[in-house]
Structure 1
Amino acid sequence: MRKIIRLSLLAGLGVGLSASLAAAQAVSEQRIVTSLGKLTSATPIVDVELLRQEAMAGGTMASLPNWSKVTKLPQMVVEIDFKNNSVMIEPGSYRTLGLIADALHHPNLWDYKFLIVGHTSATGSAEHNLDLSQRRAAAIQEILATTFAIAPERIFAVGVGESFPIEASRADAANNRRVQLFNLGLFTSR
């Protein structure tokens, strides 16, 4: 059985987007560039390790100091399929990863860095879900860096397991399994 992971790149809608709206959105390089390029103010300094620690402590994403900063950054939703309980990305999802990579190579996004956040549903143990979400986020980071030549210092990965479900009333719901990509602002080491 395959599990569907949603890669959230939602432009200013926050993390509460319905699955039907996400599925209806067409993915294209231009849509990704437009959505991820909508920075309206200076971006906060984000420490990936602090994000990981806050996620393990629990709470809602918006209530945690560092995550509340991240939730205000540009993002968008597309689907990435993984084999069940695995970091193996289904071959059909490479087209979507290619579109994301093309967008990250676009001149409008060239000077930005990005955070990949892995999420799971609550179908496994909390420890297993945290590990699986980290490995999936890292798999996307690695593919973007190696296969698609995105500079590794522009992309960061963190797994948060089941900590921030979209559908909190059904923690095991499939739409809680997703990966998010956030624009973290200017990449200054060029």
Structure 2
Amino acid sequence: MKNRFDVITIGGSAGSLLVLTDILDVVPYHLAAPVIIVLHRLRNVQSEMGRLLSSKRRIIEPEDKEPVKEHSIYLAPQNYHLLIEAEKTFMLDYSELVNYSRPSIDMTFSSIADVYGPRSLGILLSGANKDGAAGLCQIIAAGGRGIVQDPETAAFDAMPQSAIQMCDGVQILSIEDIKKIIIGET
């Protein structure tokens, strides 16, 4: 299935796990666009996040310099910023925290905007800080599509609300409408 996006990137933090699982359940196997997930998680404890998210599909935590492949779902590794390089390979970065977070949604969204531009879709879900808002603005400025979870339905509305305040052109959608966009119905 060819989609109008070459990449779909989803960021979230507090309150986004159940919503993200719901979204991933509708990602069709034949969707060509890779899905890249950036979730805030504790840095110094063993994480089973990949297993928790893998209801139907295998979730890959990419290695440094690994190519971004179609038909794949990726999860930013714990305690690393996940960037996309011009050659469409992953870069793991251990630099300082951004918005109190590593991985930083802003850093991933920013690199997606630089590499994929108008063929990118950025989605920002529930979270308790402003990480992701500036990066989502960059995706929109590059001609891509930027969506936030309706803050009324978010367990923590700080992330989507920050993006709404910062970004011209951001779309506020329900989870059901976000799922329709991912599967290409709208």
Q: Same fold (TM over 0.5)?
A: no
TM-score (norm 1): 0.31
User: TM-score by structure 2 length?
Assistant: 0.31
Higher relative contact order (CA 8 A, sep 6+): 1
